[in-house]
Copies of this chain bind each other. A is one copy, B any other.
Amino acid sequence: MAKIRDVAREAGVSIASVSRVLTGARRVSDDTKAAVLTAAEKLGYRTNYLASALRRQATRTLGMVIPRIANPYFIALVQTIEESAQAQGYELLLCDSADDADIEKRRMRALLSRQVEGIILIPCDEKGSAETVREALREVPVVSLDRSIRGIAMDQVCVDNRAGIVAIIDHLAGKAHRRLAFVGAQQTVSTARERLEAYREYVREWDLPSADRVLLGEFTVEWGEQAADRILADGLPPDAVVCGNDLIAAGVIRTLRARGLDVPGDIAVTGFDDIELCRFIEPAITTVHQPLRDIGTEGARRLFARIEGTSGPAARVRIRPSLVVRASSG
């Protein structure tokens, strides 16, 4: 692999001149520039990023840690961050925490070891992630996306979960649904917690017993399937099921239909997130659309502001979602 030395020799100039040409410094004659470019091209020279970054003490690299790379929902956020990074001339290092706080810590440390200049994190666990973030914050700015962490001074950008749940309940109430149930996930992340809390608080304005008709498991299709059977085991089932996310809704719908019920005729079902699957399920799922692009760009904006040191106190930003009415809610 050709080094800057080789290019200098080939071009008949000093290595300083080669560096100047390649980094775009101004003070170079056209002759030198041409000679260097020719030599570099001829030798297939490529700047050694390690040496360059070590010397200039800048990597122009961002890190991002997400709970699961296989989740298209998170990937949509990755895309947005990647675009923002590219626009600023930064590269993105993506890591998967496998929804495990220990792995998340290891990944964050690996990113810091690689001297990333900032980190975007989708925390995997509200408790476990806090310590990791605090450690990282001592070295670089960190911004959390999608899920928030309480009691920590950092920029956090997420959807207004409460507004989403309120919109869903208002919609169902407008369709004359009265007996509601909520199928959500255990309270390990803020989204699970906030959606449940919003449901509990808001639904009692319509129907008190509905506030206690709550089942908590995981954000998966499988849990939705199980939960639906539990709901049906009840003597007088609800006429609408508010789900914590779309995957759960897909599972609930599948089981309800397998048991011979009509959705939404017998029971309406709603989701949250508006993942692509919503349009493929029959009936298509009524849900809350996540403003992923807005969340991502706002997160990146704040991270870069911190990197440049031009930002004020840490803030928690909540982006308003929108209701998407489809067939599953009658």
Contact = CB atoms under 8 A, between A and B. Distances in A.
Interface string A33-55: 00000000000101111110110
Contacts of A59: 50
A46 B109 contact: yes
What is the oligomeric copy number?
A: 2
Interface string A86-115: 000001011010000000000001101111
Contact of A50 (B82, B96, B114): B114
A142 to B, nearest CB: 15
Contact of A135 (B44, B48, B82, B115): B44
Contact of A70 (B50, B51, B75, B110): B75
Contact of A1 (B79, B93, B109, B139): B139
A32 to B, nearest CB: 23
A169 interface: no
A78 interface: yes
Contacts of A78: 69
A182 to B, nearest CB: 23
A109 to B, nearest CB: 6
Contact of A113 (B47, B79, B94): B47
A152 interface: no
Contacts of A48: 54, 113, 115
Contacts of A135: 44
Nearest to A112: B46
A282 interface: yes
Given A49-B114, A50-B59, A76-B70, A250 B138 contact: no
15 contacts: A1-B139, A44-B138, A48-B113, A48-B115, A50-B50, A50-B54, A50-B115, A69-B75, A69-B79, A72-B72, A75-B75, A91-B110, A93-B93, A94-B94, A250-B280
Interface of A: 1, 44, 46-51, 53-54, 59, 69-70, 72, 75-76, 78-79, 82, 91, 93-94, 96, 109-110, 112-115, 135, 138-139, 250, 277, 280-282
